[in-house]
Structure 1
Amino acid sequence: MKSVARIAVVTGAGSGIGRSVALELVQTGQGAAAGSRVGPKWSVALAGRHNETLEETAALIRAARPDAELLCVPTDVTDPEAVAALFSAVHERYGRLDLLFNNAGTFGPGGVRFEDLEYSAWRKVVDTNLNGAFLCAQAAFRLMKEQTPQGGRIINNGSISAHTPRPNSAPYTATKHALTGLTKSLSLDGRPYSIACGQIDIGNAATDMTSAMQSGVLQANGELSPEPVMDVSDVARTVRHMAELPLEANVQFATVLATNMPFIGRG
């Protein structure tokens, strides 16, 4: 299979799922002799709030693949000007965009009852998880529509909370339900331009954000219980599969979760 360079933007690339997906993408397309995965070669723009964590991600990637083509762009996805600068930098460096992994997000305040939730806390989650996803998707959509050859793929990071909420999670759950609507709308609006959009709903991947899962989290019955987690690399491989499909095919929704976590039947 001949390698063809593709260009990806990964938001929230400074840690967790974003870091793992970026690493997974750049390990493709090096050839079987190097022990790499079969697939196209990816160049990746790493976007996140903190340059130091982006550089840490870049260092991990270059340790695994010294010839990786990377671009680190510190970006606050809640800021329209910062998002515009990110995609302008990508266009200037690479001339096109094949994939946006819309991953940046926050859980918001933990353990706060709905009636005690501050509006500022609600707004922070909405601005990051929903407005940030909109801004990045819109900028990617514009590039993909205007480039030659036309088209590309947007993968939104949803959550199993897009289906079933946890206790005291109204801001996070509401934004993840809204992301599902955004995914469906983008899928429809992108059809004339060969822009595919899908969503991956993730449950209990082992990252810093989910470290509390193994010590105990609040359940619907009011008890605190530990929950199993899965390796974040299992998520990354699923994203790569979605990303490398031809644009004539699309994984509309994928759910990847730790097998024994309380999702089916919770609530």
Structure 2
Amino acid sequence: MNTQDRRTNGVVLITGASSGIGAETARRFAGSGMDVVLAARNEGSLAAVAKECEASGVDTLTVPTDVTDHEAVDALIDATLERFGQLDTAVVNAGIGETRDVPISDLPIEQFERVTETNVNGAYYTTQSVLPALRETGGSIVFVGSYKGKYPSTSTPVYAASKWWLRGFALSVAGQVGPDGVGVTLVNPSGVTTQFGSEYREHVNEVALDSATTLDASDVADAIVYAADQDPPATVTELDLNRRDIFDRF
């Protein structure tokens, strides 16, 4: 299926789609003509994003999903295929971070477990469930990684470790399913002005980061759509999306 066919007949599934990068990515794909499957824990927020997507004239499906529950993720994919009969693009975006600047000796085990279950287990469960459908369509999977998945982070070591894992996983999956015709991309943005951090942090990124010099959700959504739009046999294996002064910080 070429780019134009995907845009008019394709189906994209996005985890963490209720806000931030996930919601903006859904809007971008809907604007290009793709039907959209929205997954996240917050049912009310999903419905609001779905309404915005439908304004572009596409069909949407909202499936409240906790990606840390592999059975819920399987049900999400089943619902997608039952509704649309195919899946062309999957965006593995759901993720959370821990409280900043807490020594490892003081970080609650509950936070370590929750971050790891969401960012690691959730990405694995989603990938395992979507790959059979993507093999059928010669589709693509886009992982939302992080700048912190390539460089150490003393302020958020658990989050960074989860994104280092995701990077190794994504590139390894690319080697495994690329011969099957599935495109795999890892997008690594630096900090983004979204509501990220709402679970454990006093200030979310939208408040903590300078909007004049920091990426916003639309920047990352553009990168995700660009990666998914590549026609076979081309694929963007890894895309680093950084603020322009990123290396001045070293």
User: Any conservation in 1 of the 2:25–2:221 contact (CA below 8 Å)?
Assistant: yes
Number of equivalences: 238
Q: Which residue number in structure 1 is paired with residue 199 of structure 2?
A: none
Alpha-carbon RMSD across the aligned residues, in angstroms, is 1.8
Matched, 1:81 2:71: yes
User: Any conservation in 1 of the 2:11–2:88 contact (CA below 8 Å)?
Assistant: yes
Q: Which residue number in structure 2 is paired with residue 36 of structure 1?
A: none
Using the alignment, how far apart are the partners of 1:255 and 1:213 within structure 2?
22
User: Any conservation in 2 of the 1:104–1:129 contact (CA below 8 Å)?
Assistant: yes
Secondary structure of the residue aligned to 1:47 is strand
Secondary structure of the residue aligned to 1:9 is strand
Higher helix share: 2
Q: Which residue number in structure 2 is paired with residue 124 of structure 1?
A: 114
Matched, 1:42 2:34: yes
Matched, 1:139 2:139: no
Secondary structure of the residue aligned to 2:183 is strand
Select which of 68, 86, 105 maps to 2:95: 105
- Large movers: runs of 4+ above 3 Å: 1-4
Secondary structure of the residue aligned to 2:247 is coil
Q: Which residue number in structure 1 is paired with residue 229 of structure 2?
A: 244
Q: Which residue number in structure 1 is paired with residue 176 of structure 2?
A: 189
Structure ID, larger Rg: 1
Secondary structure of the residue aligned to 1:264 is helix
Q: Which structure carries more relative contact order (alpha carbon 8 Å, separation 6+)?
A: 2
Q: Which residue number in structure 2 is paired with residue 11 of structure 1?
A: 15
Q: Which residue number in structure 2 is paired with residue 234 of structure 1?
A: 219
User: Any conservation in 2 of the 1:206–1:229 contact (CA below 8 Å)?
Assistant: yes
Using the alignment, how far apart are the partners of 2:103 and 2:117 within structure 1?
20
1:49-68 matches, cutoff 5 A? 49-63=41-55, 65=56, 67-68=57-58
User: Which blocks of at least 5 consecutive residues in structure 1 are unaligned?
Assistant: 29-40, 216-225
User: Which blocks of at least 5 consecutive residues in structure 2 are unaligned?
Assistant: 197-204
Q: Report how far residue 59 of structure 1 moved.
A: 2.1
User: Any conservation in 1 of the 2:36–2:59 contact (CA below 8 Å)?
Assistant: yes
Structure 2-normalised TM-score?
Answer: 0.89
Using the alignment, how far apart are the partners of 2:207 and 2:101 within structure 1?
12
Q: Report how far residue 52 of structure 1 moved.
A: 0.4
Using the alignment, how far apart are the partners of 2:75 and 2:231 within structure 1?
28
